[in-house]
Amino acid sequence: MTETTAAKPAAKARTTKAKAAPSKVTFPEFEAFAMPKMEVPAAFREATEKSLENAREAYDKVKTAAEDATDLLEDTFETSRQGVVEFNHKAVDAAKTNADATFTFIKDIMSVKTLAEAIELQSTFARAQFDALSSQSKEMQELATKLGTDVSAPVKEAVEKSFKDLKVN
């Protein structure tokens, strides 16, 4: 039994070496599988070249339009961001002004000595707050209108430019 077990590893080693060596098999050229040598007609070649040129031009136009649209969106978003930040600052300033006025009114109302003085203070505060709120609302409306105009202006210009380009073509 020792002879057969010793012979098996040797046989296994020979088959492994045989598998490791790549076999070079070349196929002879068969006439049945050979491609005939053809010349492409000049008209077909010209039509193909013209189609490729048109495709390249169309691609360039689409690429330019996509880049323009991307730039437009970036500009629009930046304008919107700046406008919203400015609007928020204005709103916070208005809220601070109103809160300060209210705290001043409360401090003053606590120090009154007569009812008439309290009513006069209340009337003055109400009138001042109404004027302040009207002014703040007007400023906020103007800022919102300006923001809307600033954001829509580039889009409007791009649309007008696109229509002019379409009319020319």
Mean pLDDT for the chain overall: 82
What does the pLDDT read at residue 32? 66
Question: 155 near 76, Cβ under 8 Å?
Answer: yes
Task: Kindly report the three-state secondary structure assignment for every residue of 124-155.
Answer: HHHHHHHHHHHHHHHHHHHHHHHHHHHHHHHH
pTM: 0.59
CA distance 115 to 21: 113
Q: Give the model's pLDDT for residue 66.
A: 86
Cα(94)–Cα(97) distance, integer angstroms: 5
What are 74-102's pLDDT values in tens digits?
988 998 999 999 999 999 999 999 999 99
- Top-confidence residue, 140 or 42: 140
CA distance linking residue 146 with residue 80, whole number of Å? 11
Q: What is the pLDDT of residues 126-163, one digit of tens each?
A: 999 999 999 999 999 999 999 999 888 888 888 787 77
The percent of residues in the chain predicted with pLDDT above 70, rounded, is 76
The H-or-E segment that residue 104 falls in is helix 42-110
pLDDT above 80 (res 40): no
Beta strands in 5-138 (DSSP E): none
pLDDT bin (cut points 50, 70, 90) of residue 19 is low
